[in-house]
Structure 1
Amino acid sequence: MGVGSVNPVRLGAVGYLNARPLTWALDRAPERWQIRYDVPSVCAALLHAGEVDLGLIPSIEYLSASDYRFVPGVGVGSRGPVASVALFSRVPVASIRRIAADTSSRTSVALLKVLCRHRFRIAPELVPHGPDLQAMLRGFDAALLIGDPALDADHAALGAQKVDLGEEWTAMTGLPFIYAAWAGRPGAVDDGDVAALQAAQVEGTASTDAIAEEYGAGDPAATARAAVYLRHNVRYGLGPEEAAGLQTFLDYAVEIGAAPRRRGLEFF
Protein backbone atom coordinates (compact mmCIF):
# COMPACT_ATOMS: atom_id res chain seq x y z
CA MET A 1 0.00 0.00 0.00
CA GLY A 2 2.89 2.30 0.75
CA VAL A 3 3.33 5.76 2.13
CA GLY A 4 1.73 7.38 -0.87
CA SER A 5 -1.47 5.34 -0.67
CA VAL A 6 -4.79 7.11 -0.22
CA ASN A 7 -5.83 4.70 2.54
CA PRO A 8 -3.68 3.80 5.54
CA VAL A 9 -2.54 0.23 6.11
CA ARG A 10 -4.97 -1.47 8.48
CA LEU A 11 -3.18 -3.17 11.38
CA GLY A 12 -4.49 -5.50 14.07
CA ALA A 13 -2.09 -5.09 16.98
CA VAL A 14 -1.76 -6.69 20.39
CA GLY A 15 -2.37 -4.34 23.31
CA TYR A 16 0.05 -6.07 25.70
CA LEU A 17 3.20 -4.38 26.97
CA ASN A 18 5.44 -6.80 25.10
CA ALA A 19 4.08 -5.61 21.74
CA ARG A 20 4.40 -1.91 22.51
CA PRO A 21 7.93 -1.53 21.07
CA LEU A 22 6.52 -2.61 17.69
CA THR A 23 3.68 -0.06 17.71
CA TRP A 24 5.18 2.84 19.66
CA ALA A 25 6.37 4.66 16.53
CA LEU A 26 3.40 3.60 14.38
CA ASP A 27 0.93 5.40 16.66
CA ARG A 28 2.51 8.69 15.65
CA ALA A 29 1.74 8.18 11.95
CA PRO A 30 -2.05 7.73 11.78
CA GLU A 31 -2.05 8.87 8.16
CA ARG A 32 -0.10 5.71 7.30
CA TRP A 33 -1.30 3.15 9.86
CA GLN A 34 -4.83 2.51 11.09
CA ILE A 35 -4.37 0.40 14.23
CA ARG A 36 -6.93 -1.71 16.08
CA TYR A 37 -5.72 -2.99 19.45
CA ASP A 38 -6.97 -6.22 21.01
CA VAL A 39 -5.84 -9.56 22.44
CA PRO A 40 -3.79 -11.82 20.13
CA SER A 41 -6.66 -14.17 19.23
CA VAL A 42 -8.81 -11.25 18.06
CA CYS A 43 -5.94 -9.83 15.99
CA ALA A 44 -5.74 -13.20 14.28
CA ALA A 45 -9.50 -13.31 13.71
CA LEU A 46 -9.41 -9.84 12.13
CA LEU A 47 -6.68 -10.97 9.74
CA HIS A 48 -8.44 -14.22 8.86
CA ALA A 49 -11.62 -12.23 8.08
CA GLY A 50 -9.78 -9.71 5.92
CA GLU A 51 -10.69 -6.84 8.24
CA VAL A 52 -7.04 -5.82 8.60
CA ASP A 53 -4.16 -5.92 6.12
CA LEU A 54 -1.60 -7.10 8.66
CA GLY A 55 -2.04 -8.68 12.05
CA LEU A 56 0.42 -8.99 14.91
CA ILE A 57 -0.74 -12.56 15.28
CA PRO A 58 0.17 -15.49 17.51
CA SER A 59 2.81 -17.37 15.54
CA ILE A 60 0.73 -20.55 15.23
CA GLU A 61 -1.92 -18.60 13.29
CA TYR A 62 0.50 -18.50 10.34
CA LEU A 63 -0.59 -22.08 9.63
CA SER A 64 -4.26 -21.04 9.39
CA ALA A 65 -3.84 -19.91 5.77
CA SER A 66 -1.69 -21.21 2.94
CA ASP A 67 -0.64 -17.78 1.72
CA TYR A 68 0.31 -15.79 4.82
CA ARG A 69 3.69 -14.07 4.82
CA PHE A 70 5.70 -12.68 7.73
CA VAL A 71 7.29 -9.24 7.80
CA PRO A 72 11.01 -10.12 7.85
CA GLY A 73 13.07 -9.24 10.88
CA VAL A 74 10.19 -8.22 13.16
CA GLY A 75 8.84 -10.35 15.99
CA VAL A 76 8.13 -10.66 19.70
CA GLY A 77 10.14 -13.46 21.26
CA SER A 78 12.39 -14.66 24.04
CA ARG A 79 15.45 -16.76 24.62
CA GLY A 80 15.04 -17.99 28.16
CA PRO A 81 12.62 -16.58 30.74
CA VAL A 82 9.93 -14.35 29.22
CA ALA A 83 7.90 -13.75 32.44
CA SER A 84 4.64 -13.08 30.57
CA VAL A 85 3.76 -16.60 29.36
CA ALA A 86 3.59 -18.89 32.35
CA LEU A 87 1.99 -21.84 34.04
CA PHE A 88 1.03 -21.19 37.66
CA SER A 89 0.62 -24.39 39.65
CA ARG A 90 -0.45 -25.19 43.19
CA VAL A 91 0.82 -28.78 42.85
CA PRO A 92 4.09 -30.25 41.53
CA VAL A 93 4.15 -30.14 37.73
CA ALA A 94 4.23 -33.93 37.51
CA SER A 95 0.94 -34.02 39.46
CA ILE A 96 -0.99 -31.57 37.28
CA ARG A 97 -4.21 -33.09 35.93
CA ARG A 98 -6.39 -30.08 35.03
CA ILE A 99 -5.29 -26.65 33.79
CA ALA A 100 -7.42 -23.51 33.48
CA ALA A 101 -6.17 -21.93 30.26
CA ASP A 102 -6.33 -18.31 29.19
CA THR A 103 -7.09 -18.78 25.49
CA SER A 104 -6.19 -15.23 24.43
CA SER A 105 -3.37 -16.71 22.32
CA ARG A 106 -3.46 -20.08 20.56
CA THR A 107 0.33 -19.98 20.41
CA SER A 108 0.66 -20.04 24.20
CA VAL A 109 -1.89 -22.85 24.50
CA ALA A 110 -0.05 -24.87 21.84
CA LEU A 111 3.31 -24.16 23.50
CA LEU A 112 1.95 -25.46 26.79
CA LYS A 113 0.68 -28.62 25.07
CA VAL A 114 4.06 -29.18 23.40
CA LEU A 115 5.88 -28.77 26.70
CA CYS A 116 3.42 -31.00 28.54
CA ARG A 117 4.05 -33.80 26.07
CA HIS A 118 7.74 -33.46 25.36
CA ARG A 119 9.22 -31.87 28.50
CA PHE A 120 6.91 -32.39 31.46
CA ARG A 121 5.62 -35.80 30.26
CA ILE A 122 2.07 -35.14 31.45
CA ALA A 123 -1.28 -35.14 29.65
CA PRO A 124 -3.53 -32.72 31.55
CA GLU A 125 -6.98 -31.56 30.57
CA LEU A 126 -7.00 -27.91 29.45
CA VAL A 127 -10.19 -25.95 30.13
CA PRO A 128 -10.74 -22.42 28.73
CA HIS A 129 -10.99 -19.81 31.48
CA GLY A 130 -10.88 -16.03 31.86
CA PRO A 131 -7.52 -14.63 33.04
CA ASP A 132 -8.23 -14.45 36.79
CA LEU A 133 -5.52 -16.40 38.61
CA GLN A 134 -7.31 -16.65 41.94
CA ALA A 135 -10.47 -18.02 40.31
CA MET A 136 -8.46 -20.34 38.07
CA LEU A 137 -6.55 -21.91 40.93
CA ARG A 138 -9.70 -22.30 42.98
CA GLY A 139 -10.95 -25.11 40.76
CA PHE A 140 -7.87 -26.35 38.91
CA ASP A 141 -4.40 -27.68 39.63
CA ALA A 142 -2.75 -25.00 37.51
CA ALA A 143 -3.43 -22.00 35.30
CA LEU A 144 -1.99 -20.68 32.05
CA LEU A 145 -1.74 -16.89 31.90
CA ILE A 146 -0.28 -14.75 29.15
CA GLY A 147 0.60 -11.13 28.63
CA ASP A 148 0.11 -8.46 31.26
CA PRO A 149 -2.03 -10.69 33.55
CA ALA A 150 0.91 -13.11 33.83
CA LEU A 151 3.32 -10.26 34.56
CA ASP A 152 1.11 -8.76 37.24
CA ALA A 153 -0.04 -11.97 38.95
CA ASP A 154 0.85 -12.26 42.66
CA HIS A 155 1.22 -16.04 42.52
CA ALA A 156 3.22 -16.31 45.74
CA ALA A 157 0.28 -14.92 47.71
CA LEU A 158 -1.82 -17.77 46.31
CA GLY A 159 0.74 -20.42 47.17
CA ALA A 160 1.50 -21.17 43.53
CA GLN A 161 4.76 -21.75 41.71
CA LYS A 162 5.43 -20.02 38.39
CA VAL A 163 6.76 -22.09 35.50
CA ASP A 164 8.05 -19.81 32.73
CA LEU A 165 7.19 -21.38 29.37
CA GLY A 166 9.78 -19.37 27.47
CA GLU A 167 12.47 -20.67 29.79
CA GLU A 168 11.21 -24.24 29.46
CA TRP A 169 11.12 -24.04 25.65
CA THR A 170 14.71 -22.82 25.37
CA ALA A 171 15.87 -25.41 27.91
CA MET A 172 14.24 -28.13 25.79
CA THR A 173 15.29 -26.96 22.31
CA GLY A 174 18.21 -24.57 22.76
CA LEU A 175 16.31 -22.13 20.53
CA PRO A 176 14.50 -18.81 20.92
CA PHE A 177 10.70 -18.71 20.84
CA ILE A 178 8.61 -16.35 18.73
CA TYR A 179 5.23 -15.55 20.26
CA ALA A 180 3.91 -13.12 17.67
CA ALA A 181 4.88 -11.46 14.40
CA TRP A 182 3.36 -9.25 11.73
CA ALA A 183 1.71 -11.37 9.04
CA GLY A 184 -0.60 -10.90 6.09
CA ARG A 185 -1.39 -12.01 2.57
CA PRO A 186 0.70 -11.25 -0.54
CA GLY A 187 0.26 -7.66 -1.65
CA ALA A 188 -0.92 -6.46 1.76
CA VAL A 189 2.15 -4.24 2.14
CA ASP A 190 4.90 -2.99 -0.13
CA ASP A 191 8.65 -2.74 0.43
CA GLY A 192 8.26 0.73 1.91
CA ASP A 193 5.77 -0.53 4.48
CA VAL A 194 8.07 -3.41 5.41
CA ALA A 195 10.98 -1.03 5.90
CA ALA A 196 8.80 1.25 8.04
CA LEU A 197 7.70 -1.64 10.26
CA GLN A 198 11.32 -2.69 10.69
CA ALA A 199 12.32 0.89 11.52
CA ALA A 200 9.46 1.13 14.02
CA GLN A 201 10.84 -1.90 15.86
CA VAL A 202 14.27 -0.27 16.05
CA GLU A 203 12.77 2.96 17.40
CA GLY A 204 10.54 1.11 19.84
CA THR A 205 13.31 -1.02 21.30
CA ALA A 206 15.33 2.17 21.82
CA SER A 207 12.39 3.72 23.68
CA THR A 208 11.82 1.14 26.41
CA ASP A 209 12.20 3.69 29.23
CA ALA A 210 9.40 5.83 27.79
CA ILE A 211 7.25 2.77 27.11
CA ALA A 212 7.77 1.55 30.68
CA GLU A 213 6.75 4.97 32.03
CA GLU A 214 3.60 4.88 29.90
CA TYR A 215 2.77 1.41 31.23
CA GLY A 216 3.56 2.32 34.85
CA ALA A 217 1.17 5.30 34.74
CA GLY A 218 2.86 7.03 37.65
CA ASP A 219 3.60 3.89 39.69
CA PRO A 220 7.41 3.74 40.09
CA ALA A 221 7.42 0.03 40.97
CA ALA A 222 5.30 -0.89 37.94
CA THR A 223 7.50 1.29 35.73
CA ALA A 224 10.65 -0.41 37.00
CA ARG A 225 9.18 -3.89 36.47
CA ALA A 226 8.13 -2.98 32.94
CA ALA A 227 11.58 -1.63 32.11
CA VAL A 228 13.30 -4.81 33.31
CA TYR A 229 10.82 -6.94 31.37
CA LEU A 230 11.29 -5.04 28.11
CA ARG A 231 15.09 -4.96 28.41
CA HIS A 232 15.83 -8.42 29.73
CA ASN A 233 12.92 -10.79 29.04
CA VAL A 234 11.47 -9.95 25.64
CA ARG A 235 13.65 -10.16 22.54
CA TYR A 236 12.64 -8.33 19.40
CA GLY A 237 13.53 -9.47 15.90
CA LEU A 238 13.11 -12.40 13.56
CA GLY A 239 16.52 -13.43 12.28
CA PRO A 240 17.82 -16.89 11.29
CA GLU A 241 17.98 -18.26 14.84
CA GLU A 242 14.51 -17.00 15.70
CA ALA A 243 13.21 -18.41 12.42
CA ALA A 244 14.67 -21.81 13.34
CA GLY A 245 12.90 -21.68 16.70
CA LEU A 246 9.66 -20.63 15.03
CA GLN A 247 9.78 -23.40 12.44
CA THR A 248 10.55 -25.95 15.16
CA PHE A 249 7.54 -24.81 17.16
CA LEU A 250 5.24 -24.87 14.13
CA ASP A 251 6.35 -28.42 13.34
CA TYR A 252 5.64 -29.47 16.93
CA ALA A 253 2.22 -27.80 16.70
CA VAL A 254 1.34 -29.91 13.66
CA GLU A 255 2.61 -33.04 15.41
CA ILE A 256 0.33 -32.53 18.43
CA GLY A 257 -2.67 -31.70 16.25
CA ALA A 258 -2.80 -27.99 17.09
CA ALA A 259 -2.35 -27.00 13.43
CA PRO A 260 -3.45 -28.65 10.18
CA ARG A 261 -0.34 -28.87 8.02
CA ARG A 262 3.37 -28.13 7.93
CA ARG A 263 4.60 -25.03 6.11
CA GLY A 264 7.98 -23.47 5.66
CA LEU A 265 8.36 -19.81 6.57
CA GLU A 266 7.64 -17.26 3.85
CA PHE A 267 8.24 -13.52 4.03
CA PHE A 268 7.21 -10.36 2.23
Structure 2
Amino acid sequence: MSRAAASRVLTVFAVLAMVVAGIGFIASLFLNAFVLDRYNAYGEVPVPGTATLHLPAGEVDISFHTQIIGSGNGSLPVPDLRMGIDPPAGVREPTVTENIGGTTTVNNDARIRVWVAQIAEDGDYRIRADGNVSAFVSPRLAFGHGSPYGAAPWWCAGLFVASALVLVLALVWGARVRAAPRPVGAIPATFDIGDTPSGFQPPYVPTEDGIRLQQLNNLTALRDCGALTEAEFETERPRLLGGG
Protein backbone atom coordinates (compact mmCIF):
# COMPACT_ATOMS: atom_id res chain seq x y z
CA MET A 1 0.00 0.00 0.00
CA SER A 2 1.35 3.41 -0.96
CA ARG A 3 1.81 6.16 1.59
CA ALA A 4 -0.94 8.23 0.00
CA ALA A 5 -3.40 5.32 0.24
CA ALA A 6 -2.34 4.62 3.84
CA SER A 7 -2.97 8.24 4.85
CA ARG A 8 -6.44 8.11 3.28
CA VAL A 9 -7.29 4.88 5.10
CA LEU A 10 -6.06 6.35 8.40
CA THR A 11 -8.17 9.48 7.82
CA VAL A 12 -11.32 7.46 7.17
CA PHE A 13 -10.66 5.30 10.24
CA ALA A 14 -10.19 8.37 12.45
CA VAL A 15 -13.39 10.00 11.21
CA LEU A 16 -15.41 6.81 11.78
CA ALA A 17 -13.94 6.44 15.28
CA MET A 18 -14.89 10.04 16.10
CA VAL A 19 -18.47 9.44 14.91
CA VAL A 20 -18.76 6.24 16.96
CA ALA A 21 -17.27 7.94 20.03
CA GLY A 22 -19.66 10.89 19.73
CA ILE A 23 -22.71 8.65 19.40
CA GLY A 24 -21.47 6.46 22.26
CA PHE A 25 -20.94 9.49 24.50
CA ILE A 26 -24.48 10.78 24.00
CA ALA A 27 -26.05 7.30 24.24
CA SER A 28 -24.15 6.38 27.41
CA LEU A 29 -25.10 9.66 29.09
CA PHE A 30 -28.77 9.05 28.29
CA LEU A 31 -28.72 5.40 29.37
CA ASN A 32 -26.83 6.11 32.57
CA ALA A 33 -29.18 8.93 33.56
CA PHE A 34 -32.56 7.51 32.59
CA VAL A 35 -32.28 3.74 32.12
CA LEU A 36 -29.42 2.16 34.04
CA ASP A 37 -29.41 4.50 37.06
CA ARG A 38 -31.73 2.82 39.61
CA TYR A 39 -31.67 5.61 42.16
CA ASN A 40 -34.65 4.15 44.14
CA ALA A 41 -33.98 0.47 43.60
CA TYR A 42 -34.16 -0.31 47.38
CA GLY A 43 -36.98 2.06 48.27
CA GLU A 44 -37.63 5.56 49.60
CA VAL A 45 -38.14 7.21 52.96
CA PRO A 46 -40.23 10.40 53.37
CA VAL A 47 -38.58 13.46 54.92
CA PRO A 48 -39.36 13.68 57.75
CA GLY A 49 -40.19 10.05 58.41
CA THR A 50 -38.95 6.53 59.06
CA ALA A 51 -39.04 3.27 57.10
CA THR A 52 -37.39 -0.13 57.02
CA LEU A 53 -35.55 -0.95 53.79
CA HIS A 54 -33.78 -4.10 52.72
CA LEU A 55 -30.29 -3.02 51.68
CA PRO A 56 -27.67 -5.23 50.02
CA ALA A 57 -24.07 -5.44 51.13
CA GLY A 58 -21.83 -2.98 49.36
CA GLU A 59 -22.24 0.56 48.14
CA VAL A 60 -25.67 2.24 48.24
CA ASP A 61 -26.42 5.68 46.78
CA ILE A 62 -28.72 7.93 48.84
CA SER A 63 -30.44 10.69 46.86
CA PHE A 64 -32.70 13.61 47.75
CA HIS A 65 -35.85 13.18 45.65
CA THR A 66 -38.60 15.79 45.23
CA GLN A 67 -41.16 17.29 42.86
CA ILE A 68 -40.42 20.70 41.33
CA ILE A 69 -42.63 23.33 39.77
CA GLY A 70 -41.68 24.96 36.47
CA SER A 71 -38.96 24.11 34.00
CA GLY A 72 -36.55 22.87 36.64
CA ASN A 73 -33.45 24.27 34.96
CA GLY A 74 -30.28 24.31 37.01
CA SER A 75 -29.06 22.28 39.95
CA LEU A 76 -31.45 21.11 42.64
CA PRO A 77 -30.54 22.81 45.94
CA VAL A 78 -29.78 20.38 48.77
CA PRO A 79 -31.61 21.32 52.00
CA ASP A 80 -30.34 20.76 55.52
CA LEU A 81 -30.87 16.99 55.86
CA ARG A 82 -30.30 14.58 58.72
CA MET A 83 -30.35 10.81 58.47
CA GLY A 84 -29.74 7.79 60.68
CA ILE A 85 -29.38 4.14 59.66
CA ASP A 86 -30.02 1.49 62.32
CA PRO A 87 -28.51 -1.87 61.26
CA PRO A 88 -29.88 -5.32 62.17
CA ALA A 89 -28.76 -6.82 65.46
CA GLY A 90 -25.13 -7.86 65.43
CA VAL A 91 -24.26 -5.88 62.27
CA ARG A 92 -21.96 -2.86 62.43
CA GLU A 93 -23.31 0.50 61.41
CA PRO A 94 -22.89 1.58 57.79
CA THR A 95 -20.25 4.11 56.89
CA VAL A 96 -21.92 7.15 55.29
CA THR A 97 -19.95 9.67 53.24
CA GLU A 98 -21.24 12.89 51.74
CA ASN A 99 -21.01 12.71 47.95
CA ILE A 100 -22.99 15.39 46.11
CA GLY A 101 -23.80 14.40 42.53
CA GLY A 102 -25.46 16.06 39.56
CA THR A 103 -29.16 16.86 39.29
CA THR A 104 -31.39 14.67 37.13
CA THR A 105 -34.82 16.01 36.21
CA VAL A 106 -37.54 14.08 34.37
CA ASN A 107 -41.08 15.52 34.02
CA ASN A 108 -40.78 17.83 37.09
CA ASP A 109 -39.32 14.95 39.10
CA ALA A 110 -35.86 15.89 40.34
CA ARG A 111 -33.21 14.08 42.31
CA ILE A 112 -29.63 14.59 43.38
CA ARG A 113 -27.22 12.21 45.12
CA VAL A 114 -26.33 13.36 48.63
CA TRP A 115 -24.60 10.44 50.39
CA VAL A 116 -22.97 7.10 49.65
CA ALA A 117 -23.33 4.38 52.31
CA GLN A 118 -21.12 1.33 52.68
CA ILE A 119 -23.37 -1.49 53.92
CA ALA A 120 -21.54 -4.23 55.79
CA GLU A 121 -24.12 -7.02 55.41
CA ASP A 122 -27.31 -7.66 53.51
CA GLY A 123 -30.35 -7.10 55.75
CA ASP A 124 -33.24 -4.91 56.88
CA TYR A 125 -32.13 -1.45 58.01
CA ARG A 126 -34.33 1.11 59.74
CA ILE A 127 -33.90 4.54 58.19
CA ARG A 128 -34.65 7.80 60.04
CA ALA A 129 -34.84 10.97 57.91
CA ASP A 130 -35.41 14.58 58.89
CA GLY A 131 -34.49 18.06 57.70
CA ASN A 132 -35.56 21.57 56.75
CA VAL A 133 -37.65 20.63 53.72
CA SER A 134 -40.68 22.89 54.05
CA ALA A 135 -39.94 24.52 50.68
CA PHE A 136 -40.05 21.22 48.78
CA VAL A 137 -42.96 19.15 47.42
CA SER A 138 -43.04 15.52 48.55
CA PRO A 139 -39.40 15.37 49.73
CA ARG A 140 -37.89 11.94 50.36
CA LEU A 141 -34.63 10.02 50.46
CA ALA A 142 -34.17 7.41 47.75
CA PHE A 143 -31.89 4.41 48.24
CA GLY A 144 -30.49 2.73 45.12
CA HIS A 145 -27.45 2.39 42.90
CA GLY A 146 -25.96 4.18 39.94
CA SER A 147 -25.33 2.79 36.47
CA PRO A 148 -22.75 0.00 36.26
CA TYR A 149 -21.43 1.77 33.17
CA GLY A 150 -20.91 5.16 34.76
CA ALA A 151 -17.44 5.47 33.25
CA ALA A 152 -18.64 4.79 29.69
CA PRO A 153 -19.05 8.48 28.76
CA TRP A 154 -15.48 9.16 29.83
CA TRP A 155 -14.19 6.26 27.75
CA CYS A 156 -16.12 7.60 24.75
CA ALA A 157 -14.74 11.09 25.35
CA GLY A 158 -11.20 9.68 25.51
CA LEU A 159 -11.74 7.77 22.25
CA PHE A 160 -13.04 10.94 20.60
CA VAL A 161 -9.98 12.95 21.63
CA ALA A 162 -7.59 10.18 20.54
CA SER A 163 -9.37 9.86 17.18
CA ALA A 164 -9.19 13.63 16.67
CA LEU A 165 -5.42 13.51 17.23
CA VAL A 166 -5.06 10.63 14.77
CA LEU A 167 -7.13 12.57 12.23
CA VAL A 168 -4.84 15.60 12.54
CA LEU A 169 -1.74 13.41 12.11
CA ALA A 170 -3.31 11.66 9.08
CA LEU A 171 -4.14 14.98 7.43
CA VAL A 172 -0.63 16.33 8.03
CA TRP A 173 0.90 13.10 6.71
CA GLY A 174 -1.30 13.19 3.61
CA ALA A 175 -0.36 16.82 2.93
CA ARG A 176 3.35 15.98 3.16
CA VAL A 177 2.94 13.00 0.84
CA ARG A 178 1.17 15.15 -1.76
CA ALA A 179 3.80 17.88 -1.46
CA ALA A 180 6.77 15.49 -1.79
CA PRO A 181 8.60 15.64 -5.20
CA ARG A 182 7.79 12.74 -7.46
CA PRO A 183 10.38 10.98 -9.71
CA VAL A 184 9.96 11.61 -13.44
CA GLY A 185 10.88 9.40 -16.37
CA ALA A 186 14.18 9.65 -18.27
CA ILE A 187 14.42 12.73 -20.52
CA PRO A 188 14.81 11.64 -24.15
CA ALA A 189 18.00 12.64 -25.90
CA THR A 190 17.89 15.70 -28.14
CA PHE A 191 19.82 16.22 -31.34
CA ASP A 192 20.88 19.22 -33.31
CA ILE A 193 20.86 19.29 -37.08
CA GLY A 194 24.08 17.79 -38.34
CA ASP A 195 24.71 15.65 -35.23
CA THR A 196 25.33 11.95 -35.73
CA PRO A 197 23.26 9.88 -33.25
CA SER A 198 25.17 7.46 -31.07
CA GLY A 199 25.27 3.99 -32.64
CA PHE A 200 24.26 5.30 -36.09
CA GLN A 201 25.52 3.06 -38.95
CA PRO A 202 25.83 4.82 -42.34
CA PRO A 203 24.36 2.92 -45.33
CA TYR A 204 26.73 0.50 -47.11
CA VAL A 205 28.04 1.77 -50.45
CA PRO A 206 29.60 -1.08 -52.53
CA THR A 207 32.93 -0.51 -54.26
CA GLU A 208 33.60 -1.16 -57.93
CA ASP A 209 35.49 -4.39 -57.16
CA GLY A 210 32.63 -5.52 -55.00
CA ILE A 211 30.18 -4.95 -57.87
CA ARG A 212 32.31 -7.00 -60.29
CA LEU A 213 32.67 -9.77 -57.70
CA GLN A 214 28.88 -9.91 -57.21
CA GLN A 215 28.35 -10.01 -61.02
CA LEU A 216 30.88 -12.87 -61.30
CA ASN A 217 29.01 -14.80 -58.59
CA ASN A 218 25.76 -14.28 -60.46
CA LEU A 219 27.41 -15.47 -63.70
CA THR A 220 28.74 -18.56 -61.97
CA ALA A 221 25.29 -19.33 -60.56
CA LEU A 222 23.79 -19.04 -64.08
CA ARG A 223 26.34 -21.50 -65.39
CA ASP A 224 25.82 -23.92 -62.54
CA CYS A 225 22.04 -23.96 -63.04
CA GLY A 226 22.41 -24.53 -66.80
CA ALA A 227 21.26 -21.10 -67.93
CA LEU A 228 24.70 -20.56 -69.52
CA THR A 229 26.92 -22.99 -71.29
CA GLU A 230 30.55 -23.35 -70.42
CA ALA A 231 31.54 -21.53 -73.55
CA GLU A 232 29.22 -18.60 -72.78
CA PHE A 233 30.56 -18.47 -69.26
CA GLU A 234 34.17 -18.35 -70.47
CA THR A 235 33.26 -15.60 -72.91
CA GLU A 236 31.57 -13.37 -70.31
CA ARG A 237 34.00 -13.86 -67.40
CA PRO A 238 36.94 -11.95 -68.90
CA ARG A 239 34.66 -8.99 -69.65
CA LEU A 240 33.49 -8.88 -66.02
CA LEU A 241 37.04 -9.13 -64.76
CA GLY A 242 38.01 -6.26 -66.99
CA GLY A 243 40.02 -8.30 -69.32
CA GLY A 244 37.61 -8.24 -72.31
TM range (shorter): under 0.3
Larger Rg: 2
TM-score by length of 1: 0.20
TM-score by length of 2: 0.22
Structure 1 or 2: more helix by fraction = 1
